[in-house]
Copies of this chain bind each other. A is one copy, B any other.
Amino acid sequence: MITEHKTADVNFESLLRIFTVPEGPDSTLTQIEEKLSRNLNEFLRDHIVAEEKPLRDIEKDFSNATIPEKPEFVSDHTQHLLDTLVSQSVHTSAPSFIGHMTSALPYFLMPLSKIMIALNQNLVKIETSKAFTPLERQVLGMLHRLIYGRDDSFYAQWMHSANHSLGAFCSGGTIANITALWVARNNALKAQGDFQGVEKEGLFKAMKHYGYEGLAVLVSERGHYSLKKAADVLGIGQEGLVAVKTDNQNRICPQALAQRITELKANNIKPFAVIGVAGTTETGNIDPLQAIAKVCQQENCHFHVDAAWGGATLMSNNYRHLLAGVELADSVTIDAHKQLYIPMGAGMVLFKQPDAMKSIEHHAQYILRKGSKDLGSHTLEGSRSGMAMLVYAAMHIISRPGYELLIDQSIDKANYFANLIGQQEDFELVSQPELCLLTYRYVPQRAQNALEKAQGEHRVTLNELINELTKFIQKRQRETGKSFVSRTRLNPAKWDHLNTIVFRVVLANPLTGCDILNHILQQQREIAQQAPKLMAQINHTVEQIFSADNSV
């Protein structure tokens, strides 16, 4: 009855087969999948090429913008993917790759992911997700309780309430932060008298109604770059994201915060939200959350905590005190794909008050009808996968004490590494670990002494040369394909806030042993010797500094 179209090499019967007939047990794809299931680390070691290939060369394999006119066999294409894509991907779970926030994953999550994908639920509404909807609400409830610690009756009342939401599950920390600031903005500019609220009438009318000249969100200088994006997209403008001074530990100065708010208000600019950072991306430090909460209460500001990375620390009863005050926040961002060891794409934002998200609630005729429990009425995203299932499973299989161990050993390891660096004469620890993140650099001992002695231009020159060396070491180490630390730029008080390039290390991978840490330092020391010209320049400058000193 249905017309059969015929095209070269493609017919409807063979096409139906890809939907009904699985790959055979001997097929390339099945065998590759089995190898991966038997031993993921071996699979990655065997298939990811260690030596770095220039991006320009990799791009040649991905240069054809035409959608193929001829179908490929699954086995052929799988081999092609192994050769061109997998081989040139990044070994994010390698124990010696300690430069990312992406770590190894528990094995059980791989088959569970496959089940999740095969079920192909759409969490936007119950009709396409059913039990996944209460499951996601429970996961949000668990995280809410981890942060706010409300009692059973609170969760019995609100967790599954149709018109309330304890938070939103989303693709990542950026969308979580945008959601939090969206809620905060709409609550700050809500309906009043004839004005129907910013969500209805828009920002221009809202500003005129409230008589503000501008809006501001305050965060420390160490806030995540995504907040600028949030300020842009929400119509506040990047200038509305006000950077507040930090202390020597990269933590926001509460007095400076209060002062900036006073200044803004004097200029008729409304500071509607303050963001506390719980785990800065570059140094892993945590803002004094209690002090920020106090300022927010006084100033009637929304208090958001960006704990995308550090939030998992709440799982450890030994370290959760580091985030003291987080329970005072109006909203908190946590990424489960960071220190909760879930695959990429599991962000969450939690709200203290179950009705906070009312200001962004939306409904439609054929979906998200009023009174329905559809999750989509409180999310920025529409269609979404059932990722929450993986968080749910990990919570049950690892359990809170298991996460505690993982968190504790990460922090212990960072402290071990900080001590190790401290013991080396030719390394400088730049930021102490507060969580499992630290920064350091390679500086030959005599250069360290010279840097301390030097003043003005001499110091700047020497520091710049050391920056060049740090960049060189980091790139070369990455290119060998055996280990990886990332790099960033800091402005340490110790060095007059000079631009200082540092190695950045995140020690969340439980497979990273102390031997690897020792080895990484040794390798960096050796790589430094592969830049004889730069080393000679450093030595020359060092000697200049000492001779200038002697001549005084």
Contact = CB atoms under 8 A, between A and B. Distances in A.
A493 interface: no
B203 A11 contact: no
A92 B41 CA distance: 34
Contacts of A120: 92-93, 102, 105, 343-344
A243 interface: no
A400 B16 contact: no
A15 B129 contact: no
A12 B405 contact: yes
Given A36-B115, A100-B122, A401 B235 contact: no
B408 A5 contact: yes
A48 to B, nearest CB: 9
B401 A9 contact: yes
Contacts of A335: 383
Contact of A22 (B37, B146, B235): B37
A441 interface: no
Contact of A71 (B88, B363, B365, B398): B398
A72 interface: yes
Given A15-B406, A120-B344, A199-B237, 15 more contacts: A5-B408, A7-B401, A18-B397, A29-B108, A36-B118, A37-B114, A55-B373, A77-B396, A102-B120, A113-B113, A171-B384, A203-B235, A225-B363, A225-B368, A281-B366
A443 interface: no
Interface string A301-340: 0000000000000010010000000000000000101000
B238 A235 contact: no
Contacts of A367: 225
Interface residues of A, number: 193
A29 B112 contact: yes
Contacts of A112: 29, 78, 81
28 contacts: A2-B409, A5-B404, A5-B408, A7-B405, A15-B402, A16-B510, A18-B106, A19-B107, A33-B115, A63-B155, A65-B142, A66-B145, A67-B146, A77-B393, A81-B112, A90-B121, A117-B343, A122-B344, A127-B478, A175-B175, A182-B233, A199-B232, A202-B214, A202-B215, A202-B236, A203-B203, A204-B207, A204-B215
A50 interface: no
Contacts of A400: 67-69
Contacts of A8: 401
A385 interface: yes
B99 A127 contact: yes
A299 interface: no
Given A173-B383, A174-B383, A397-B72, A405 B93 contact: no
Nearest to A175: B381
A296 to B, nearest CB: 22
Interface stretch (A448-456, A482-490, A527-535, A540-548): A482-490
